[in-house]
A and B are shown apart, each in its own frame.
Chain A
């Protein structure tokens, strides 16, 4: 049973526009959420995180929104750049549970010039 799901395997956007990547979770115990960016044959790079006590966290072009009632989070990238083309993973963890991360299946973002 997948506890973290990214239902869109791919997303294509035009350079300069907004990219919105979505993630749903089923475990209501999750209280910390992260987004990672991954290029082929490389390790994931941490992008941004959000605690369950917040509903928004912003870092430069990246903003993560958390809707606890819907068990949904999203990553907004504005403006999108060709260098943002990569696979994006969302991950979640439970407080005091050893920091174990549960990952979604990933969404491939393609930003067209």
Chain B
């Protein structure tokens, strides 16, 4: 089955700790995205990558970092600089990178909680 997987489903972070959220896709999509959802709010773009070894900041990139060493993987690190990391994190992909009107498909999400 083709799809997007995110792990873990729940993640706990201690103060001052960096944590990494995994996102893998086997859809052969070029573009991948990370979003954050806070309670009662919409999705906000953290980072995106249109192609391997390239990524760009989204609207709320401060306190986060990413890498795109492989086409199928786009891990997100929540650093200690992110002062309010508690949220639901969603990874998405689309065939991209420069196609018009592409639909993004989402993974199941990771809920990050601060201890």
Contact = CB atoms under 8 A, between A and B. Distances in A.
Given A42-B109, A98-B48, A99-B94, A34 B103 contact: yes
B52 interface: no
Contacts of B104: 34, 46, 99, 101
B106 interface: yes
Interface residues of A, number: 28
Interface in A65-103: 89, 91, 93, 95-96, 98-101, 103
Contact of A100 (B42, B45, B103, B111): B45
Contacts of B6: 43
A73 B109 CA distance: 27
Looking at chain B, what size class is its interface with the partner chain? Answer: 20 to 34
Given A41-B109, A44-B106, A99-B96, A49 B101 contact: yes
Interface in B33-62: 33, 35, 40-45, 48, 50, 56, 58
B84 interface: no
Contacts of B100: 32, 95-96
A104 B109 contact: no
A44 B42 contact: no
Contacts of A45: 106
Contacts of B4: 43
A51 interface: yes
Interface string B12-49: 00000000000000000001010100001111110010
Contacts of A41: 88, 109, 111
A103 B107 contact: no
Interface in B77-113: 88, 90, 92, 94, 96-109, 111
Given A99-B102, A105-B42, A44 B90 contact: yes
Contacts of A32: 100-101
Contacts of A44: 43, 90, 106
Among all A-B residue pairs, the 3 with the closest Cβ atoms:
A43-B106, A103-B42, A32-B101
28 contacts: A4-B42, A41-B88, A42-B109, A43-B90, A43-B109, A44-B43, A49-B103, A89-B42, A89-B43, A91-B43, A95-B100, A95-B101, A96-B98, A98-B31, A98-B96, A99-B94, A99-B99, A99-B104, A100-B45, A101-B33, A101-B43, A101-B45, A101-B104, A103-B44, A104-B42, A105-B40, A105-B41, A106-B40
